[in-house]
Amino acid sequence: MLNGLYDKENCYLEIHPGAGGTESCDWANMLLRMYERFLDKNNFKYKVIDIQDGDEAGIKSVTLYIEGEYAYGYLKNEAGVHRLVRISPFDANKRRHTSFASVSVTPEFSKVDDILIKDDDLKIDVYHSSGAGGQSVNTANSAVRITHLPTKTVVTCQTERSQLRNKEIALQILKSKLYQQKLEEQENKIKSITGEESNIDFGSQIRSYILEPYKLVKDHRSKYEDTDPIKVLDGDIIDLIESVLKLKK
């Protein structure tokens, strides 16, 4: 396990809610809390690079920068769609709701110099910082959103007070994302030639967290199950992570 080419690297972890408005935004926030607690328990350092609050509750998106030995190796298989089933706290009729959120994980590649980005390919927007430690202390247009037009890849950063520094960090994230896309394209090409089935699919549902009508967390790849979802949502996910690592070694 953990012998992949980039497993030792630091990484960026992003969470985005699926369709469903407040329900999904709240679920994305629950996932953020789960990962933060996992990182704290396992001595990883992390920083919130960008966070967008939901309109009523939860978050619309968040990006974490995670430092530590084998950060990417441990978290790479968290990429995919996470499904929650629960009695909604936002439903006055106490009905059961299903919510989805997607997680993506990108290694911080140490060599991205060969990724050349033309200025004409970038759309750069600046806006007020938001979220904890953001707008309340920083009212300048320091947050930066960069769109890479050819690939429609969007990265944002608002963690620094300086617009220039936020732009530098966002460009670094963008280069890592583009490099990852390049590697995935190469791997897909090789698999198409050799006839192997490609399993690089971040749109697939990887794990379900069921709070009602029974309690269960199930990873759909390794088939690992845990009957204590509250413990899992409190950051105790190492057994789930290792079950997939053992499957793929």
Stated pTM of the model = 0.80
- Measured in whole angstroms, the distance separating CA 199 from the mean position of its chain's CA atoms is 18
User: What domains can you pick out in the chain, each with its CATH number?
Assistant: 11-194+202-248 (3.30.70.1660)
What pLDDT shows up at residue 189? Answer: 64
Q: Where are the alpha helices (DSSP H) in the chain?
A: 22-41, 71-75, 163-194, 229-233, 238-248
Output DSSP code: residue 53. Answer: E
Pairing label, strands 59-67, 143-148: unpaired
Contacts of 239-242 with C-beta under 8 Å, sequence gap 24+, read 240/207, 241/74, 241/75, 241/77, 241/78, 242/1
What pLDDT shows up at residue 14? Answer: 94
Residue type, 42: N
**Tokens representing residue 154 in the block:** 């969007």
Chain position carrying tokens 């904890």? 132
Tens-binned pLDDT, residue by residue, of the chain (249 aa): 788 888 999 999 999 998 878 899 999 999 999 999 999 999 999 999 999 988 888 999 999 999 999 999 999 999 999 999 998 887 778 888 899 999 999 998 876 666 778 889 899 998 877 654 444 444 467 889 999 999 999 999 988 888 888 988 888 888 888 888 887 777 776 555 545 443 433 346 899 999 999 999 999 999 999 999 999 999 999 999 999 999 865
What's the order of all strands across the beta sheet hosting 143-148? Answer: 122-127, 143-148, 153-157
**Tokens representing residue 44 in the block:** 């990883």
**Tokens representing residue 248 in the block:** 């793929």
What pLDDT shows up at residue 230? Answer: 96
What pLDDT shows up at residue 119? Answer: 86
